[in-house]
Amino acid sequence: MPALEVRAPQMRVAVDIGGTFTDLVAYDPGQARVRFAKSLTSYPRLSDAVFACLEQAEIDLAEVRHFMHGSTIAINTVIQRSGARAGLITTRGFRHVYAIGRGDRPRAYDLLFDKPVPLVPADRIAEVDERMDARGEVVRALDDGSVIAAIDLLMEQKIESVAVVLLHAYRNPAHERRIGAMIAARAPGLHVTLGHEILREFREYERTSTAVLNAYVGPVVSDYVAELDARLRDQGFAGHFMIMQSNGGTMSAGLARARPVSMMESGPVAGVIGAARLGQALGISDVISFDMGGTTAKASLIEKGEARTVSFYHIGGAETGHPMMLPVVDIVEVGTGGGSIAWIDAAGGLKVGPLSAGAAPGPVCYGLGGEEPTITDANLVLGRLDPAHFLGGRMRLDVEAARRAIGTRIAGPLGLGIERAAFGIVRIADARMSLAVREVSLAKGHDPRDFALVASGGGGPLHAGAIARELSVPRVIVPELPGTFSALGMLMTDARHDLVRTRIADIGRIEPGEIAAVFAEMIAEATGLLARDGIGGQDWRIVPALDLRYLGQEYTLPVPLGDGAPDAAMLAGARARFDELHHARYRHAAPDEAVEIVNVRLTAFGKVAGHLAAFGDITARATARAVAPIGHRAVWFEDGSHACAVYRREDLPAGAMIAGPAVIEEGVSTTILHPGDRAVVSTQGALIIDIGAGR
């Protein structure tokens, strides 16, 4: 009797938890089939929504090889200041570095401007006797007695987590490691963050802030990841549990529990990766990702197929947020989503957001107890949403309740008709969201007319046409399954780890062997992390780089290096390339000036098996045929009401062309074509909308 063939699990499942909805996309490469699900985010137990989606999509966890997860839990913990009671241990004499911060003021003439309130107050900061110099040499040995006193002092403060950040530990972490071992022995169970394990780069304030952020969110995120992992294992999951990072890659769940600061922007970043992949599939390398969910809207610029990554980011806003010095895909976020509440201020002006109705109670039309009108209510009143087709018909919307809320709270006080008030809500929301797109394009020297706008999220396709008109963007792209696009992007994401070591030296004088030794150490660490992610060596890709600056400058530019061990010729080539990059960025260069190496960087990628490689794999394309609308309804635009044909997206074959004004509905989103727009369905299933075609 022949042995039964045992099929190894192949399915990849991605789940993205947002402020209002939790999304799931699953892909089985053997069957080339994609499943998706959407559920209201469950508070306070977020994993309940995850399992609601798994049940809805009929996922057998025993068949899942990779479970990818992105969540806003880390960043929400900081913004809501609901993290752990954290402490900080630092070098004697440097207790106030974290509170003092930097002397620059984002608003120089604002007399009421305040710095961010530290997540760890001064009475929970303890000092120890020790000192390293900038070369990593011991100036003063670590005094164990001072460490014991510091631990006891913080334990008296009933801390739940502690960050250890010592002066120049990025160069020599021996003292931080010793303190970590002493904490584990004296206070077992305490969540410990050692600064050098998070970041090996100079700038003491930013390094301290990054470590404190990790300590602040650590217990909350660690408990959440552990609880979700346990529930998955109990249901038969035996594969790899991966967490989306802010840098556009994934990491193991175990590493995420130790370094939760790396997942601050994990959900939104996945949508940016998906937008980049879709642009590449369509042959459009320059796109702007625009994602509008239930709580926020996000924008990010992708140039030449690559999302822009920054190594410095503020959690909670650039002006009063907390600095985080880790690679993050450059995203601008505004508090405008489908659940954003419309209200009238004391001067009688109409405002929208940033307060959101969220998932509970949600917009008025959900019928879950909401009383304040939202953007979703306004879109429903304007005819842009079908009350019987929301979430594929699984949730019926209450039009009359939305009309009453807008009439009572907005239209009546302003003396407007209900439709005009609803249009005002939508118009203000469009203007606010266009600011995010301006911030990632015009504010950084890019002309939005040279880019296409990739619209995703449940609300993105509803509003993208108006935002494109606002900024003269000529084309909008709406992918398939836009309402679950961030989760879809995770299925196209590889593992990624970014490492850095500060080594300040003249590039013309340093011995290449010294740089080679640093890279060898970093490669060993990076490949160990990839192995921990369950990725074999044949799927590794290592990208080295140097952060360079002219002597006397404060900040640097990253310069990629070629393959192989660094030698004199490679360093000379990097120096010449730096001049070119400096001229391209700042329109001037100084080839006769000395150039310094500041940081040695390395990015390690690991290709995850079972990739959703092509957008054509999402659903089978229908054969070419005549397309007929499923009905008509009145939809309000700027010039009033229009009778619009309504199409079902899954009925549209590749090559189908639709002229606006029109409505294209699908399970988890709706696309609006304004008068003069024209949409064509690509072979990848994306809607390519020419804005104002024929005008």
* CATH at 516: 3.30.1490
What pLDDT is stored for residue 40 in this prediction?
85
Which parts of 84-236 fold into alpha helices (H)? 97-100, 144-156, 174-186, 195-198, 204-234
Mean pLDDT is lowest, of 30-44, 82-96, 580-594, for 30-44
Is residue 120 domain-shared with residue 207, that is, in the same domain? yes
Does 429 map to a domain?
no
Q: What is the mean pLDDT of residues 199-218?
A: 96
What pLDDT is stored for residue 102 in this prediction?
86
Q: Calculate the average pLDDT of the chain.
A: 90
Q: What is the mean pLDDT of residues 40-69?
A: 91
Q: Which residues of 510-519 are buried (b: 16+ CB within 10 A; e: fewer)?
A: beeeebeebb
Rounded CA-CA distance 302/361 in Å is: 35
Identify the residue with better confidence: 639 or 138: 138
Is the pLDDT at 3 greater than 80, yes or no? Answer: no
Does 536 map to a domain?
yes
Confidence of residue 448 (pLDDT cuts 50, 70, 90): very high
Confidence of residue 545 (pLDDT cuts 50, 70, 90): very high
**Residue carrying the six token digits 């709406």:** 478
Is the pLDDT at 2 greater than 80, yes or no? Answer: no
Is residue 91 domain-shared with residue 146, that is, in the same domain? yes
Domain containing 130: what range? 79-221
Q: How many domains, the chain?
A: 3
Express each pLDDT in 119-177 by its tens digit: 999 999 999 999 999 999 999 999 999 999 999 999 999 999 999 999 999 999 999 99
Phi, psi of 126 (to 5 degrees): -115, 150
Mean pLDDT is lowest, of 316-325, 497-506, 636-645, for 316-325
Mean pLDDT is lowest, of 97-101, 210-214, 292-296, for 292-296
What pLDDT is stored for residue 133 in this prediction?
96
Confidence of residue 89 (pLDDT cuts 50, 70, 90): very high
Express each pLDDT in 484-503 by its tens digit: 898 988 988 889 999 999 99
Residue that is last in its domain, among 572, 606, 640: 606
What pLDDT is stored for residue 496 in this prediction?
93
Mean pLDDT is lowest, of 212-226, 450-464, 532-546, for 532-546
Q: What is the mean pLDDT of residues 391-406?
A: 89
Is residue 551 domain-shared with residue 664, that is, in the same domain? no
Rounded CA-CA distance 677/658 in Å is: 9
Identify the residue with better confidence: 375 or 650: 375
Is residue 502 domain-shared with residue 572, that is, in the same domain? yes
Confidence of residue 611 (pLDDT cuts 50, 70, 90): low
Is residue 95 domain-shared with residue 200, that is, in the same domain? yes
The angle formed by the CA atoms of residues 335, 462 and 56, to the nearest 5 degrees, is 85
Pairing of strands 11-17, 64-71: parallel
| Close Cβ partners of 223 (under 8 Å, ≥ 6 residues apart) | none
Is the pLDDT at 537 greater than 80, yes or no? Answer: no
Q: What is the mean pLDDT of residues 504-508?
A: 94
Residue that is last in its domain, among 221, 239, 267: 221
Confidence of residue 19 (pLDDT cuts 50, 70, 90): confident
Chain centroid, CA 57 distance in Å = 25
Does 568 map to a domain?
yes
Is residue 597 domain-shared with residue 639, that is, in the same domain? no
Q: What is the mean pLDDT of residues 179-190?
A: 96
Confidence of residue 454 (pLDDT cuts 50, 70, 90): very high
Express each pLDDT in 254-283 by its tens digit: 999 999 999 988 878 999 999 998 998 899
What is the distance between the terminal CA atoms of the chain, rounded to a whole angstrom? 72
Mean pLDDT is lowest, of 66-70, 102-106, 257-261, 463-467, for 102-106
Is residue 525 domain-shared with residue 644, that is, in the same domain? no
Is residue 208 domain-shared with residue 146, that is, in the same domain? yes
Confidence of residue 7 (pLDDT cuts 50, 70, 90): low
Kindly state the percentage of the chain with pLDDT values over 70.
95
Mean pLDDT is lowest, of 175-184, 213-222, 286-295, 400-409, for 286-295
Does 179 map to a domain?
yes
Cα separation values, 366 from 275, 293, 359, Å? 30, 16, 9
Is residue 682 domain-shared with residue 587, that is, in the same domain? no
Cα separation values, 260 from 189, 244, 545, Å? 17, 10, 25
Is residue 93 domain-shared with residue 210, that is, in the same domain? yes
Q: Which residues of 17-47 are buried (b: 16+ CB within 10 A; e: fewer)?
A: bbbbbbbbbbbbbeeeebbbbbbbbbeeebb
Does 656 map to a domain?
yes
Rounded CA-CA distance 316/570 in Å is: 40
For residue 678, the cross-strand partners are 659, 690
What pLDDT is stored for residue 626 in this prediction?
67
What pLDDT is stored for residue 8 in this prediction?
64
What pLDDT is stored for residue 694 in this prediction?
41
Is residue 513 domain-shared with residue 635, that is, in the same domain? no
Express each pLDDT in 362-388 by its tens digit: 899 999 898 999 999 999 999 999 998
Query: Of the candidates 125, 131, 130, which has an alpha carbon nearest to the alpha carbon of residue 89?
Result: 125
Confidence of residue 483 (pLDDT cuts 50, 70, 90): confident
Q: How many beta carbons lie within 10 A of that of residue 56, not counting itself? A: 15
Does 35 map to a domain?
no
Does 321 map to a domain?
no
**Residue carrying the six token digits 């110099």:** 133
What pLDDT is stored for residue 470 in this prediction?
93
Is the pLDDT at 633 greater than 80, yes or no? Answer: yes
Is residue 559 domain-shared with residue 513, that is, in the same domain? yes
Does 68 map to a domain?
no
Residue that is last in its domain, among 172, 187, 221: 221
Is the pLDDT at 616 greater than 60, yes or no? Answer: no
